[in-house]
Chains A and B, each alone.
Chain A
């Protein structure tokens, strides 16, 4: 059950569950590696994706050998992108954190999710800092050290 948030961390599974505040569906593409049609998506303004059902034979079917494939493995990012071989199903809105609601959904079929920008970058973005300049210090003082 590894959780990563650095850029390019990724998970692959048979069923991924996600939480985000901004879901984008992107037009389908024929994936260069799998040679089949996949449905890309993007989770903006913080996303969290966890493997609920792992791939049956990861070593044989995995698209990227750097992906985590165990049940419970997860990635978290300011922005996460990915794809699924099946359409992303209807989503539900629920309580995402102490202060925000979030969209919850699942990606079925062979699915992949990848950290495009880390949460730290999201917190340090101009938009967030304009709204609350002290947010980085409040959330995690370690961010000030760099």
Chain B
């Protein structure tokens, strides 16, 4: 390790502080606003002068937010599960097998990832209207899978490439069918990659606003990011800033939990010891 001189240490500390402040101030501000009472919401203090949980109570009393939360959780989990399963199989094929059209498949999935989503909203809207998918769960799950798959395939194929191929050959020699070799040797080793991908895909689905606002109309399928836009106060003269902030904090919690829960499973160097390093 390099020796840190005092000057260097100070420089690094300053840079670190700037980065952390820059990243966290908006989050903390939202948190602070959510805990302010209606009367003090515009007072400009960073730390609430008067702590209040009223905003949180308000959002959980309205049916809209709870329904949106259920929609968000359900749609994101289903989309994540499907994208990860399909992505795992596709990434394994791309990393390991030689098949005709492999380059085309990789190129095509990259193309999907680069396509500006906003340009697809209107056609998707029309398609879903005529297919009766508009304002349904599948109506959101399907586009989410489409746009999450390239991400999943790219992340996962990088992980698969790192697993020594000889392990699979060894499994075959030990008497495993290709399926058994995948399930009992490759899949357990790819687990960290699968979890990483799952987190990324989940965050993508959870945070999406564009499709959520365009392809939903009612609480039947509206997710939280879209539902926030429809928040109103008790009367039309009331400003729902507090509730919006409280809702924003609430929907951040699952992401934080998701990452904390799976982070432990993302153990680097799980394959060490398989082959001579």
The judgment on whether A and B are partners is no
Interface residues of B (CB under 8 A from A): none
